[in-house]
């Protein structure tokens, strides 16, 4: 069932089949928890401080103390990565409010449940990036705290499934006529040589890959703006990209069964993706933190 041998659960490293959580865990009962997904390139945790900072923020927003004391997360991940073997991987980390009798109100004295594992990961191949992917638009019917990386992902799962059943790989979500993000990704468009992405706030997750794309654009004189994107602007975009830890910076070449731009990945994607790959390479060689 699993392609890894060890998971971390509440202070222990265990084979996955021996890692057990109570059915009364509030993660199971209420979806009461938060998570992170961290890319691992060449055995190293990519943008770890950014992921840990976002985890801390998610935990604070749901008023859950951080069960991993300073530096503990990195030590746990390093062991999981070593056990997982060579090649690209990803880390999944989840923290829930812990086990308690079912009651919506917070329990008085419960320990959070902390769970993590590393697994081999397939990042988009050169072929996928050269072809681009298909997406569909869908109505954003999630809650109003999408800035919290909550494990309660039923709407996201339903929206992604809708996309798959329409022959696409992702749903781009629209709320009141404005683009928010993908079911599990952030969205960028290009118009007239400028990159646009919706601003951070309650409607989107502050994506680590999104931030890196903006950082690389700024450092290389590529005009980029964090601005609301109207749904109609999507259909007039020269380019559309998705960003996420698992999808990196992926060009969208079909939107609702119609070509985006000329139907091929655009020149600004090529530029930014080359910068991303160079950054990743430098990271793997230990030249950037």
Nearer to ligand PDD, 53 or 60 (CB): 53
20: Cβ–Cβ under 8 A, 6 or more apart, which residues?
9
Nearer to ligand PDD, 106 or 148 (CB): 148
Q: Nearest distance from residue 161's CB to ligand PDD, in Å? A: 14
Residues 289 and 283: their CA atoms lie apart, in Å, by 6
> Which of 80-88, 160-168, 181-189, 228-236 is the region at the interface with ligand PDD (rule: CB under 6 A)?
181-189
∠ at Cα 281 (249, 188), nearest 5°?
A: 15
Residue 149 bears catalytic tag: yes
The 246-285 contact track toward ligand PDD, x by CB under 6 A, reads: x---------------------------------------
Among 82, 81, 101, 84, CA closest to 30:
101
Residues 202 and 140: their CA atoms lie apart, in Å, by 13
Q: Nearest distance from residue 108's CB to ligand PDD, in Å? A: 31
Contact 134, 252 (CB under 8 A): yes
**Which structure tokens are listed for 202?**
């309650």
The 204-223 contact track toward ligand PDD, x by CB under 6 A, reads: -x-xxxx-------------
Size of the site for ligand PDD (CB under 6 A): 14
State whether the Cα torsion 56-59-60-65 is positive or negative. negative
Tell whether residue 243 is a contact of ligand PDD (CB under 6 A): yes
CB atoms within 10 A of CB 174: 17
CA dihedral of 135, 260, 233, 219, whole degrees rounded to 10:
90
What's 185's DSSP letter?
B
**Which structure tokens are listed for 262?**
């000329």
Tell whether residue 96 is a contact of ligand PDD (CB under 6 A): no
The correct pick among 58, 96, 186, 253 for binding ligand PDD (CB under 6 A) is 186
Among the listed residues 122, 149, 277, 280, the single catalytic one is 149
**Which structure tokens are listed for 182?**
């993908």
216: Cβ–Cβ under 8 A, 6 or more apart, which residues?
222, 272, 275, 276, 279
Tell whether residue 244 is a contact of ligand PDD (CB under 6 A): yes
> Which of 72-80, 159-167, 178-186, 222-230 is the region at the interface with ligand PDD (rule: CB under 6 A)?
178-186
Residues 282 and 289: their CA atoms lie apart, in Å, by 9
Q: Nearest distance from residue 67's CB to ligand PDD, in Å? A: 20
> Which of 3-11, 63-71, 113-121, 244-252 is the region at the interface with ligand PDD (rule: CB under 6 A)?
244-252
The 34-73 contact track toward ligand PDD, x by CB under 6 A, reads: ---x------------------------------------
Binding site for ligand PDD (CB under 6 A): 37, 181, 184-186, 205, 207-210, 243-246
Q: Catalytic residue positions?
A: 149
């Amino acid at each position: 069932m699993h392609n890894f041998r060890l998971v971390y659960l509440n202070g222990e490293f265990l084979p996955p089949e021996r890692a057990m959580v109570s059915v009364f865990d509030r993660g199971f009962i209420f979806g009461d928890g938060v998570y992170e997904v961290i890319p691992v390139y060449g055995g190293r945790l990519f943008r770890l401080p950014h992921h840990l900072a976002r985890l801390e923020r998610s935990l604070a927003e749901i008023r859950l103390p951080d069960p991993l004391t300073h530096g503990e997360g990195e030590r746990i991940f390093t062991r999981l990565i070593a056990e997982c073997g060579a090649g690209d991987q990803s880390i999944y980390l989840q923290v829930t409010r812990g086990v308690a009798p079912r009651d919506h109100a917070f329990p008085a004295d419960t320990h959070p449940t902390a769970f993590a594992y590393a697994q081999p990961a397939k990042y988009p191949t050169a072929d996928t990036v050269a072809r681009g992917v298909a997406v569909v638009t869908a109505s954003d019917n999630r809650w109003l705290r999408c800035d919290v990386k909550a494990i309660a992902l039923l709407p996201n799962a339903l929206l992604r499934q809708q996309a798959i059943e329409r022959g696409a790989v992702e749903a781009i979500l629209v709320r009141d006529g404005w683009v928010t993000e993908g079911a599990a990704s952030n969205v960028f468009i290009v118009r007239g040589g400028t990159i646009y992405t919706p601003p951070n706030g309650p409607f989107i997750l502050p994506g680590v890959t999104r931030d890196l794309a903006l950082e690389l654009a700024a450092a290389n004189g590529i005009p980029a703006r964090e601005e609301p994107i109207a749904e109609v602007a999507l259909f007039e975009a020269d380019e559309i990209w998705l960003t996420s830890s698992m999808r990196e910076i992926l060009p969208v070449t079909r939107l609702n069964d119609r070509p985006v731009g000329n139907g091929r990945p655009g020149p600004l994607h090529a530029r930014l993706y080359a910068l991303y790959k160079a950054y990743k390479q430098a990271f793997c060689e230990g030249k950037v933190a």
